[in-house]
Structure 1
Amino acid sequence: MADLPLEHVHIEPEKPAGSDGSADSDAGSAPAVFVLHGRGADEQDLLPIANELGDDRHVISLRAPDPLQGGYTWYELDLSAGGLENSQPDAEDFRRSLDLIDESVEAAIDAYDLDPDAIGVLGFSQGAITSMSLLLEEPERFAWVVALHGYLPESHADLEPDGIADKPVFVGAGAGDRVIPESRSRAAADRLEAIGADVTYGSYPGGHGVGRGELSDVVAFLESNR
């Protein structure tokens, strides 16, 4: 396991794609997805989802830096706006995690021979919030983003970076989500679309979790953006 700034799990592609799309062990650098878990989970939590995304890409699932209730968190919550449904990331914690993820992506590209032009990021909840923020800071870094049950924090909601035009982004939400209400995810999708991203939005029955229908749509999204 490579020495990255963040603890992680790395799964190598079973079938690295050659230039003709066929399996080729000499193909060189391969695509990758960086996976960012939610609050109180860990780097193992989203692996069942990541394993559905195809066997021709690296999976690097990162662990958040701070322990929380048997898992880990990317940042503490600022609840000053009133309640969990209106929470924002603590600014200092959030900045630290964004920087650690950026450094980990950079280190992993070299350590695992990743294709720097085929890097995606998939996040759930806090991981989705972080994923969309990373995209707005460095849209050229990521080929696509999947953000499930998250929102755009106030610190990033007004950014209009160069390079966001036509960037594929999948935003998923739960119609019954009481942790991050669908309205917050919908607002994130609307904002990203307004600044030019190529947004696919999906609303799904249920609460704060990823069901089979949502996962199927994520897989279809990635298939169409290879």
Structure 2
Amino acid sequence: MADLPLEHVHVAPDAESETDLAAEATEAAPAVFILHGRGADEEDLLPVARHLPDDHHVFSLRAPDPLHGGYTWYDLDLSAGGLEASQPDAADFRRSLDLVAESVDAAVDAYSLDPDRIGLLGFSQGAITSLSLVLENPDRYAWVVALHGYLADSHADLDPDGIEGKPVFVAAGAGDRVIPESRSLDAADRFAEIGAAVTRGSYPGGHGIGQEELADVVAFVESQRV
């Protein structure tokens, strides 16, 4: 396993025959980088990853800071009034954004990934981080899936070149009491406003990924295959 700035689990594409293996050696493969939520770890979203197209490399990254037996991408700034209005701590957030970007770059080099077919899939804090990353460098990421997250205030006014037409999937939970549905859908609205190709979904559950939502995520990722 290659040494990346962040601890991770790497799942290589399935190779069902020697022909497939030979093709992998000569063709750059697509990849998805998975970012878990607050208090989880790099194993948490692997059940989701198992449903994704099996020709992708999967890199499930671990957040840098320990928290309650898991890990977190950043501490919370609660000065606006509580969890439902929380924002990322600025210094922690900047560090995690840089670490993820550096890990993506390192993996592209180490595994000869196709640099034009790199996707991000994040849940909760991982979704917030993913949305910010694609705004900072839209040319690096082919698509992004943001589940039960929101657009951080620090990035809400960004309108970068390269975001127009970018495929973005945003999911919200109608019963989500951690990140209210309205915050997720506000992020979808903002991405649509700046020209991204937004797919949005609102699901009846809370702060988790149900079967209907998972099916829609898989369909979205499969639709990005070229």
Q: TM-score, normalised by structure 2?
A: 0.96
Q: Distance in 1 between matches of 2:24 and 2:197?
A: 33
Q: Distance in 2 between matches of 1:211 and 1:30?
A: 29
Match of 1:7 in 2: 7
Find the residue that maps to 2:207 and give its secondary structure. coil
Q: Kindly provide the CA deviation profile for residues 9-45 of structure 1, in whole angstroms up to 9, marking residues without a partner as x.
A: 00100049xxxx9x93444210000000000000000
Find the residue that maps to 2:179 and give its secondary structure. coil
Matches within 5 A, 1:48-127: 48-127=47-126
Match of 2:133 in 1: 134
Q: Distance in 1 between matches of 2:14 and 2:26?
A: 12
Q: TM-score, normalised by structure 1?
A: 0.96
CA RMSD for the aligned pairs? 1.5
Q: Distance in 2 between matches of 1:122 and 1:152?
A: 15
1:114 shift after superposition: 0.7
Letter in 2 for 1:182: E
Give ranges in structure 1 of 5+ residues lacking alignment: none
Letter in 2 for 1:123: G
Q: Distance in 2 between matches of 1:222 and 1:6?
A: 24
2:153 is equivalent to residue 151 of structure 1: no
Q: Distance in 2 between matches of 1:51 and 1:24?
A: 22
Match of 1:185 in 2: 184
Find the residue that maps to 1:158 and give its secondary structure. coil
Matches within 5 A, 1:159-178: 159-178=158-177
Structure 1: 4+ residue segments shifted above 3 A: 23-27
Percent pairwise identity: 75
Find the residue that maps to 1:115 and give its secondary structure. strand
Match of 1:203 in 2: 202
Q: Distance in 1 between matches of 2:153 and 2:137?
A: 17
Letter in 1 for 2:56: R
Letter in 2 for 1:93: D
2:24 is equivalent to residue 33 of structure 1: no
Q: Tell me if structure 2 keeps the 8 A contact 1:15–1:24.
A: no
1:222 shift after superposition: 1.4
Q: Normalized per residue, which structure has more helix? A: 2
